[in-house]
Each structure stands twice: as structure tokens, then as C-alpha cells.
Structure 1
Amino acid sequence: MTTTENAPTTARPLRRSPGAVAPLVREAWYVVAARSEFGHELKQRWILGEPVCFFEAEDGSLIVLDDRCAHRRFPLSRSVREGDTIRCRYHGFTYGTDGRCLAVPGATPGDIKVRSYPTVERGPWVWIWTGADAEAADPGLIPWPKEIDGGDGVTGYTNNPCNYSMVHENLLDLTHLEFLHGIGGHDFTVTEPRLLSADELPAGFADLSVGYGKDLHTVLSHFAISAGDDPTTPVFRTGRMMSVTPAINYAVERFEPTDPAATAKLRTVVIAHCVTPADDSSTHQFWMYWQDVPFVVDRDERAALVKTVFNEDVEALTWIQEYMDHDERAGVVEHSVPADVPGLRLRRLLHRLAASERA
């Protein structure tokens, strides 16, 4: 899958709301693809405005290279794989899995090479380190949710034609669940968010995270469907919604039946989104819906239902991005409320991280 352009309908000048579009943060791990996408075929994806070529080597290693021959920038993903080497289909330059040029027709390769990205598997995905220093690629900097252990889950992919900060903000402000998706419940909507303290954020990531909690007495609702529980079961619901580093956003929902005799099996749900900028106006969203008990419904049907919800997000974010790109009004164009505080903090965090990299 490659990024797509969200072409403006007219040639009006751009005037974006201050701070709403975040610059790209490069010193981080981002998901490049699902593990199942890696195979013998050479594939391409755009990450942070750069094309990468990825494939699985014959020994099972996961290879991600800059998708441009160092000679005349012909795409390696459009070239020829020969064993574990790639021969450029334009002038025959040949590269190894580490990006070094191994052969040049009629000449010696010298120190010619293309960038090779460090890769790590976490969950069902493959992550790459996009920072300038490969030695800084510590896998411990990947904030994988510790709650995901065993259980059952479905995964998928969505492309959002908007800046990645908008995807994070959409996932942080879940008051839209009731109105855009028709789920979540009004009691959840009106419960005011409580910002999480540093001690409540994932260990080691407090300076790179924004999160909030909602605690309320409600019913199990739509979460019960895939677990075979009664959706009217009264529960005490504790939700923790977090953006952790620029690369992942996840919600941990816990349910405790208020009646000790209740037969509800479901106790924990994690909805994780790996947010990878394709460029400053398009975002890859690799998602997982996980629960601590096996699904009792068809997995494909459950995945399709989750996908439908995220497609509704795409439609909304597409409209909003177009208005942001062409809004020529002066003064305040966004009026924020308490539910927006986590998202506004996330905006500032992304701008601060990007400024630190530039410095």
C-alpha cells in the first residue's frame, strides 16, 4: 500500500490553524508493515516522506532499505531480486541486505550504499527506527502495551489522508464515539477526562506520553458482542486512553461487574493504533482490537465491524483536513473544551519533540 494524495478541489492558498498540523518526528520507532506483508516480493511504502523497500531475506531476516538506487534513484522495489540481493532494473547496480552496493557493471562499487533501517518485531507488526543514528535504535523504546498477553485479537490497516497529529487527536477525544459511530454511550461522553499522572503512564515513557482516564458506572454495551456476554451487564468501567511516543496510541478498557454473581467473562480490552506518518498530510494506521477472552463471533466479521468504525473516522478527518488546508479566516477558528485538553497537550508534545530534533 502506498500513500495517496488528497488533492484540493480548488487552488486556494493554504492557511492552517496554528499548531494543528504537527511536524514529523524522526527519532522514533514506527510500524512499516504487518509481519505478514514481508515475503519474497519487493514491496514499497512511504514513511515520513521517504520511500522504503521491504522484503524477507532467505534466512528470515526482515529487510528495509531506502527505495532508491544510489545511482539515479530508480526504485529498488521495481527492480529484480536475486537471492538476497537486489539488482537495479535501470543500470544493474546490485545491493545486499545491508544496503551496500556489491556490483556495478563496468566499474567498482567503492563505498556506494543505500540506507538500511533497523527492524524489530512487536506484536503483529514490523517496526523501523527512522532516527539518523542507527546505534540509538534501542528496541526498548517501542512502547508495546503490557496488557496484551494471550487473549484474542483482530488487526487491520487504514490510510488517513491527514496529518498524523489529527489521527492521534481523534483517538484521544473519544466523545466522538457517540455521535460519529453511534457507540460508546452518553454516560461515557459526558464523563470528564482526568489527565493521567506520570506514574500512571507507561513506565519509561512519561515524558513522551499524553493520557487521560474515565471511570464510570455503566453497562458492558457493545464490548460484550465478541465475548458472548450480556451487553446490559452493569459494570464499573475504567478507561485509560494514551498517545505514547509519536508512534502508538492505545486505550485500555477494564470492566468489573458490579454484581459479584454476574457471569460476564470479559475483563480487559485493548485497542491499539500504530500511527505512522506517510508524509505530513497522510498517515498509516495499523490497528488491533484485543480482548482477554476468545472471540465467540466470526473473526472476519469482527474485523470488518472495527474497520467500518475506522473508515468513518477517515471520512470525518478527510473533510476536516480539507477545511484546515483552505480556511482563510483570521483569529480563533477552533474553540476547545475540556475534552480537548489531552489532544492539545499531544500537539505541543509533537511540536516540542520536532523542535528538539532540529536543535
Structure 2
Amino acid sequence: MSTWVTNAWYVAGWDSEVDHQPLARTICGVPIMLYRKLDRQVVAMRDACPHRLLPLSMGIREGDSIRCKYHGLKLGPDGVAEEMPLKTDRVNTRVCAETYVVAEKHRFVWLWVGDKARADEALIPDLWPCSTPGWTFDGGYYHVAADYRLMIDNLMDLTHETHVHSGSIGQPELMEAPLQTRVEGDRAYVARWMPGVDAPPFWRGALKQPGPVDRWQICEFLAPSSVMIDVGVAPVGAGATLESHDQGVRGMVVDCMTPESDGTMHYFWGMARSFDQDDPGFTARFKRAQGGVFLEDKEILEAQQRAIALNPDLKLNAYNIDEGGTRARQIIRRLIAAEAARA
């Protein structure tokens, strides 16, 4: 059985990544080529020429079409042949490459790898801070040699910050604060409230004032493979609560994990924030700092994936701190099973 849901939207790239030149990216085991037409609409096509299977992403753009670099077969943006390798041959329109449904939302290009008839843009995960006035959003991309579910486990269990990210966002209080976990449909939540603590270096710099703070973390898993984490700090006495916390500095970590294969993934990370929105320099520094934090996660998860491969007789164990990731995995398994039953 597959380790991912097929009839679902996955991030194929940032809106800025997909341009005139073809971009190659394997998604859920399928090699895909993406590019923008002259009107900037995105094309997603199987990255294999229907003639000799050379990757079409190596091809030559001609207007909105793509010409294979091997023998010159020319395909339109609908994947249908427009010219045969021999110009004297009549065009066979039955020669075509498979195309896929795409959509643009929340600064991302989304791809539906399953049944085209079931592709509904209303099913795109609701990454609301990425598109809401009063918030600014940016981020980056890493290829990670690890199962995408390991990153979901990581993001739904933030106690690892104490040790993995001790120099930026980690602090001992993360290991002491009680966890609140719940499931609502295809979403899982883990919440943590830390009153009267010292702000870690990153948040102290964002708050720009001394003194103890109330800190919160609310992780939300959105099927099939996205996690948003509501994070921030407020001065003690400002009135912030776990339910309402716009009194200090608030951000929303946005992470989308797209499976590439059973042991690799595309990791799209970023943060939306509702403070210092008009400071592009801070945005760039913020992105650089966040990228460094996620590189630490990348190192840990790739080592974990290697250890899993080297220890086939052992299995992952789940403790109390792992409940959020466990709930997320249960949702994924349920959706996969329902998909298999429907098929």
C-alpha cells in the first residue's frame, strides 16, 4: 500500500520557482515537468517524451510548447503532438504526454496527481496566513532524504527544539509544559502554553523588549501533508492566552511536505507573520535564520532515515510527546485506506 494519499493536492513548487524554463520535480513517485506559458498559466506534464522517454524538462521551449531535445517531437501545453520528428510525417495527435491539474494559491503551485475528475481547488489546505491582509509570508525549499512522515512527526513534536535548536528557538521549558492534543476530522492539533518564561534569542529579538514572556505553540496538521504552527511571545501581563494571543509578536510557521519517493521528500518551509510587515530587510534576515533552523532538522531526519534503513528489525516507538505525530499518521492511514477501498 502507498505511504501517501494520491487524490490530494501537493505543493509542486513556490510560485517564484516555476518560470518559462522547465522545472523537473518527482512528486509521489511521478516525474513531472512544470513551466509557465506566455500568459503565466502553469503547465504540469509527465516528464517523459512519449517517443523515447527522454525527460521533457531537457527540452526546448517554443512559445507555449515544448520540443524534445532528442528527436524533436513537439508537444503543446495540453501534451498533444504538434510536430513529428520527421516534418514530412503527418501529425499523430494520439501521441501525447499526460498532463496534470494544477492550481496556484498561498504563494505555491499545487499539483493533483490522482484522478483529474476529483480535483477540487476547495480541497487545497487552508494556509490562511499566507494570503490574509495584515500578514506577510516568505520561505524556502529543501530536498530532504527522508520519509515525509518523519518531518510531520518532527513538526508535531516541538520538544525537540530544546536539543536540536538550542541556539535559536529552543529552551528547557519546552520539556516541562503540558501538551494538549485533539483531532478534528482530518486535522490534528497539539498546543503548549509556557507562562512567565525567558524568551529564546529569536523571539527576544522580535519582541524588542526585555522581561519575562508568555510563549505559545499550537501545531496544526492539515491532510495530506501540511503543518502550520502558531508561535509567538507576549510580555507577561499583556493579556495573551492560548486561545487569543495577538498582544505580542505572532508568527505562523508554514510547512508543506511533498513525497518524492518512499524515502525522500520536497520540503517547502516558511513563516507568515503579523509584525514588522513593512521591513523587507527583516524578512530576508528572518528567512535566513529560519532556513538555518530547518537545516538542523534536515540533518537530524536524514540521519534518522539512514538509521531506519540500517535497523530493519527495529521500529519507531511513540511516547507521550509523540501524540501529535501519531494522530497525524492515523489520519494519513485512514485516508489511504479509504482511497484503496474506493478503488
> TM-score, length-normalised on structure 1?
0.83
Confirm or deny that 1:86 pairs with 2:66. Answer: yes
Distance 1:184 1:114, change over 3 A: same
> By how many angstroms is 1:250 displaced?
1.1
Count of paired positions: 326
Distance 1:233 1:26, change over 3 A: farther
**Contact 1:22/1:163 (<8 A) preserved:** no
Confirm or deny that 1:168 pairs with 2:147. Answer: no
The equivalent position to 2:208 in structure 1, one of 229, 240, 244, is 229
Confirm or deny that 1:253 pairs with 2:236. Answer: no
The equivalent position to 2:91 in structure 1, one of 98, 108, 112, is 108
> By how many angstroms is 1:261 displaced?
9.8
How big is each residue's C-alpha offset from its partner over 1:189-247, in whole Å with a ceiling of 9 and x where there is no partner? 2223211242xxxxxxx2x22221112313443453553522x4434333210221123
> By how many angstroms is 1:110 displaced?
3.2
**1:241: which partner in 2?**
219
> By how many angstroms is 1:251 displaced?
0.4
How big is each residue's C-alpha offset from its partner over 1:286-343, in whole Å with a ceiling of 9 and x where there is no partner? 111121011666433322211111111111111111111121446xx44421111111
1:257-272 aligned at under 5 Å gives the runs 257-260=235-238, 266-272=248-254
1:154-193 aligned at under 5 Å gives the runs 154-182=138-166, 183-193=169-179
Distance 1:229 1:79, change over 3 A: same
Matched residues in 2 for 1:219 and 1:152: separation? 26
The equivalent position to 2:310 in structure 1, one of 326, 346, 351, is 326
Q: Which amino acid aligns with 2:173?
A: D
Where 2:297 maps in the other structure, the secondary structure is helix
**2:243: which partner in 1?**
none
Distance 1:166 1:260, change over 3 A: closer
> By how many angstroms is 1:157 displaced?
0.9
**Contact 1:229/1:266 (<8 A) preserved:** no
Where 2:7 maps in the other structure, the secondary structure is coil
Distance 1:100 1:227, change over 3 A: same
The equivalent position to 2:257 in structure 1, one of 254, 271, 275, is 275
Matched residues in 1 for 2:313 and 2:17: separation? 44
> TM-score, length-normalised on structure 2?
0.87
Q: Percent identity?
A: 27
> By how many angstroms is 1:73 displaced?
1.1
Matched residues in 1 for 2:299 and 2:236: separation? 37
Q: Which amino acid aligns with 1:178?
A: T
The equivalent position to 2:276 in structure 1, one of 289, 294, 312, is 294
1:1-359 aligned at under 5 Å gives the runs 23-104=3-84, 105=86, 106-131=89-114, 133-148=115-130, 149=132, 150-182=134-166, 183-198=169-184, 206=185, 208-217=186-195, 218-225=197-204, 227-230=206-209, 232-253=210-231, 255-260=233-238, 266-294=248-276, 298-329=282-313, 333-359=315-341
Q: Which amino acid aligns with 1:305?
A: A
Matched residues in 1 for 2:112 and 2:43: separation? 12
How big is each residue's C-alpha offset from its partner over 1:257-306, in whole Å with a ceiling of 9 and x where there is no partner? 332499x9744210000110111111111111121011666433322211
Where 2:109 maps in the other structure, the secondary structure is strand
Matched residues in 2 for 1:249 and 1:152: separation? 18
Show structure 1 runs of 5+ residues with no match. Answer: 1-20, 199-205
**1:14: which partner in 2?**
none
**Cα-Cα RMSD:** 2.4
**Contact 2:8/2:113 (<8 A) preserved:** yes
Q: Which has the higher contact order (CA 8 A, sep 6+)?
A: 1
**Contact 1:162/1:317 (<8 A) preserved:** yes
Matched residues in 2 for 1:22 and 1:233: separation? 50
Matched residues in 1 for 2:165 and 2:203: separation? 17
Matched residues in 2 for 1:225 and 1:255: separation? 8
**Contact 1:65/1:99 (<8 A) preserved:** yes
**Contact 1:275/1:284 (<8 A) preserved:** yes
Matched residues in 2 for 1:254 and 1:160: separation? 27
Matched residues in 1 for 2:111 and 2:205: separation? 32
Where 1:37 maps in the other structure, the secondary structure is coil
**Contact 2:74/2:82 (<8 A) preserved:** yes
Distance 1:228 1:214, change over 3 A: closer
> By how many angstroms is 1:118 displaced?
1.5
Show structure 2 runs of 5+ residues with no match. Answer: 241-245
Which shifted more, 142-151 or 267-276?
142-151
Distance 1:22 1:251, change over 3 A: farther
